[in-house]
Structure 1
Amino acid sequence: MKFNRRAFLGTTVGALAAPMIVRAAGHGGKPRVVVVGGGAGGATAARYIAKDSAGEIDVTLIEPTRAYYTCFFSNLYIGGFRDMDSLGHSYGNLAATYGINVLHDWATGVDRDAKTVMTAGGYNLPYDRLILSPGIDFVDGAVAGWDVSAANAMPHAYKAGSQTELLRAQIDAMPQGGVFAMVAPPNPYRCPPGPYERVSMVAHRLKETNPTAKILIADPKESFSKQGLFEEGWNNHYAGMIERIGPDFGGADVEVDPVAMTVSIDGDVNNVDVCNVIPAMKAGRIAEIAGVTDGNWAPVNAADLSSRMDENVHVLGDAAAQGDMPKSGFSANSQAKVCANAVRGALTGSTVFPARFANTCWSLIETNDGVKVGATYEATEEKIAKVDGFVSATGESAAVREATYQESVGWYDGITADMFS
């Protein structure tokens, strides 16, 4: 079925009783919401709170970049299916249409007692509710021999933009018959199918420009998302090009040398031409600074994404430890709508709907060969819990796979409109 924006934007039905109104002294007595991070979670939450509160809530969005480049679909840039401009989105409409104060700055501190957010630019912003959607950072020392200072030599490209452009340029500059290596991340991490869609897109590009090149994957995981679908696709489209080394053969024992351009797997040293290091991940730094993480991720209550450490702080998307939902753009957008509804209700007394969540992750393996996995979820006292799910089947027809890819394009247009339009 072709994905349509109306279906995408539809949310929940059935209202809960309105909560007590909690007001604080903002501009003109308005309650204040500060949102940190302007991605699929933060931009969506800011837009929905501002749009649906009709000016009753003062909303500030703190985001250092002036253009947001989506991590989702960035692999398609690497494969040559999209250009970088198609992945970039402006915050201008959030300010002009919804009256959101978009502050291009870094959030550097949170005082939860005083309920303020400090920025690198010297601002000290009060809040009644704080929404953190900072995405991911990398775990120090996760890959021996690599840290973020080596990201120019061995890009992670797991924060879209210049890193994505760098990785594609390195792939295009590979010598004929060269080796592309990927160090895959351990669970949990942003976009579970992402590294393997990336392998597919690198293989697609190399098949066209460098058909004798090889791809080597060092993977610490026993299995990965959509594994049967990817392996089927690799065999059909890129036979003999891709080798994955799992933990049984040393895929969890990896060391890299960004100067020598080598990857050591269980002591076996491999000379490579390009190395994409995707380290272990944790919540974006501001969540740790705010004191709402368990050391890596931020535990939240399922019903409203409020922090388990502070009911006035909410954490969305990749940074949240919420239960069964994968860390994805779709998940962050879905969580943001639930959170926005709950925050608006708490601050203005508006109707709060029962929390319902959904996610779908699409991946492109080769031209018009799209696959997907997804599920619906509900809030329990313990976590966001999976209700049911679906996944593409191996052996599907070319027509079904093309329809799946076209569905993903419709979703991309829908979610970016939902975030920024």
Structure 2
Amino acid sequence: MSKPNLISRRGVIRAAAAATAMFACPVIAKAKPRVVVVGGGAGGATAAKYLRHGSDAIDVTLIEANRRYVTPFTSNLYLGGLKPFETLSFGYEGVAAHGVGLVFDQVAAIDRANKEVRTAGGARLGYDRLVLSPGIDFRWDAVPGYSEAAAERMPHGYRGGAQFQLLKSQLDALGDGALIVIIAPPNPYRCPPAPYERASMMAHALKSRGVKNARIVILDAKDHFAMQTLFIDGWERHYPGMIEWQDPTIHGGIKAVDPKAMTVTTDFETHKAALVNVIPPQIAGRLGRDAGLADDSGFCPVDAGTMASLIDPAIHVIGDSATGGEFPKSGFAANNEGKIAAMIIRADLVGDRRMPVRFTNHCWSDLAPDDAIKNGARYTPQDGKIVMSDPYTSQLDESPQLRAKQAREAAGWYIGMTTDIFG
């Protein structure tokens, strides 16, 4: 008999042992890059969605204080009775469907050193990149006598659904001979034409109800405003003698507001009003300022080519809090910035394709039903700043048919934009 093949047997034993060891040791997969998005408005919700759009290579979490978002853009049409409030409100089911994790909570702190976001509820979320879209805040003390508490009697109506509804209820309660005072802010602020579209829609609402001899006085901090000639022409055609605009050379400055007496005192006179809409000067949202990302302007400087903070490149600041050149603060702009930030982050973290950065902005303003004006431009990054090119604006001699077409364009844009953000 032949002797057993000991070498072969030993080889088998070694091979079996190696196989056992291989299966006993788990393969450790590389963790996905983590991106936290704070703020679920036009900028933040867009960024969260596009970070996951068509790919699950990045772990994305959106932190938002509210379960529904009420769009500031087109809210003036609600004031004018042209849109129901419900059509301004959107949930985040569509964003979640793209694989975005949702945390509904207030952000308590952003720890830049440890790259961590802490919420009021105790959650701690680490990040490789942070997208910050905290919207606007107000310089409450910039209008003498005004405050956050005063906004419950003299609403700003510039953020949050409750403020829009309060302003609407006050407007609907006005009778014959009512005086409305609108205090318009200095630049920069959210949606430059909005205070003047608001005056148009307020006038339309009063005219539609048959309110007689009502007046709207706009006390402006600026000596001119966006599409001024077009607005004034529209006011003269639709609401003759009803809307008066005053620049600082006329009113001399706001000296005080008194919410209890409902008065606004300027250097020239004191207005006793039935409704006062105070739109205070604006700054970046609190989270951007508390995180040390704002400069002396009160806004957060960013690099135009990436939307990355010039103070902390691991954070991309988008939307109304960001400042980086000539790009306006609008829902359209925030949506642009959200997509660009998402593209840059995906390119940096997982090697996705990086396209040339370009921005666009279009803005429609309704003067009356079937009469809308618009302006817009293209923008490109140059030397770290966003620079405007190819601007356009409506003309005074446009036909009623063209103005009606532009009103339909505005309605269509809103549907397309909100679908892109929340769909």
TM-score w.r.t. length of structure 1: 0.92
The number of residue pairs the alignment matches comes to: 394
Tell me, yes or no, if the aligned pair for 1:27 and 1:58 is still in contact at 8 Å. Answer: no
Tell me what 1:12 maps to: none
Determine which structure has more spread, i.e. the larger CA radius of gyration: 2
The code of the aligned residue for 1:224 comes to: F
Deviations 1:237-269 (A, max 9, x none): 111111112110125334210001001111511
What is the distance in 1 between the residues matched to 2:88 and 2:252? 32
Structure 2 SS opposite 1:102: strand
Counterpart in the other structure of 2:314: 312
Report matched runs for 1:28-107 at 5 Å: 29-52=31-54, 54-95=55-96, 97-107=97-107
CA contact (8 A) 2:318 2:334 kept: yes
CA RMSD of aligned residues (A): 1.3
The structural deviation recorded for 1:282 is 0.3
1:407 aligns with 2:409: yes
Q: Which residue of 1 aligns with 2:111?
A: 111
Using the alignment, how far apart are the partners of 1:27 and 1:184 within structure 2? 55
Whether 2:131 is the aligned partner of 1:131: answer yes
TM-score by length of 2: 0.91
Name the % identity.
47
**What is the DSSP-based 3-state SS (H/G/I as helix, E as strand, rest coil) of the residue aligned with 2:375?**
strand
What is the 5 A alignment of 1:170-209? Answer: 170-209=170-209
Distance 2:332 2:420 in 1: 11
How far apart are residue 166 of structure 1 and its match?
A: 0.7
The 2-side partners of 1:76 and 1:379 are apart by: 33
Decide which of 374, 377, 380 is 1:378's aligned counterpart: 380
Q: Greater RCO between the two (CA within 8 Å, min separation 6)? A: 1
Q: Match of 2:142, SS?
A: coil
Distance 1:394 1:178, change over 3 A: same
Q: Return the letter of the residue paired with 1:317.
A: G
Match of 2:419 in 1: 417
Contact kept? 2:43, 2:334, Cα under 8 Å: yes
Counterparts of 1:389 and 1:169 in 2: how far apart (Å)? Answer: 37
Instruction: Give the whole-Å Cα distance in 2 for the aligned partners of 1:211 and 1:49.
Output: 53
* 2: CA distance, partners of 1:265 / 1:27: 67
Q: Quick one: distance in 2 between partners of 1:329 and 1:150?
A: 27
Preserved CA contact (<8 Å) 1:245 1:251: no
Aligned AA (2:102): V
- Provide structure 1 residue ranges, at least 5 long, that are not aligned to the other structure: 1-25
One-letter amino acid of the counterpart of residue 415, structure 1: M
Query: 1:46 is aligned with what amino acid?
Result: A
SS in 1 for 2:236: helix
Residue 10 of structure 2 aligns with which residue? none
| CA drift at 1:290 | 1.1
Give 1:287's aligned amino acid: G
State the one-letter code of the partner of 2:183: V
Supply the AA of the counterpart residue of 1:114. N
Give the distance between the partners of 1:135 and 1:37, measured in 2 at CA: 8
State the alpha-carbon separation in 1 of the partners of residues 29 and 287 from structure 2.
25
Aligned to 1:228: 229
Q: After TM superposition, list the pairs within 5 Å mapping 1:222-371 onto structure 2.
A: 222-250=223-251, 252-295=253-296, 296-371=298-373
Q: Deviations over 1:93-125 (max 9, x none)?
A: 211x21111111111211111001111111111
C-alpha distance in 2 between matches for 1:415 and 1:251: 40
Q: Which amino acid in 1 is paired with 2:80?
A: G
AA matched with 2:108: T
TM-superposed CA distance for 1:142, in Å, is 1.2
Q: Which aligned segments of 4 or more residues in structure 1 are displaced greater than 3 angstroms?
A: none
| Cα distance in 1 between the residues matched to 2:267 and 2:206 | 27
1:389 pairs, out of 388, 391, 397, with 391
CA shift, 1:287, in A, is: 0.2
1:377 and 1:354, CA in 2 relative to 1: closer, same or farther beyond 3 A? Answer: same
Task: Name whichever of 259-268 and 149-158 sits farther off.
Answer: 259-268
Aligned residues of 1:218 and 1:251 also touching (Cα < 8 A): no
**1:148 aligned to 2:139?**
no
1:372-410: CA deviations, max 9, x gaps? Answer: 010001111230111211100012110000111111111
Structure 2 unaligned blocks of 5 or more: 1-27
DSSP 3-state at the match of 2:141: coil
Aligned to 2:162: 162
Q: Equivalents in 2 of 1:388, 1:335: separation in Å?
A: 19
Separation in structure 2 between the aligned mates of residue 82 and residue 211 of structure 1, nearest angstrom: 23
180-189 or 259-268, which deviates more? 259-268
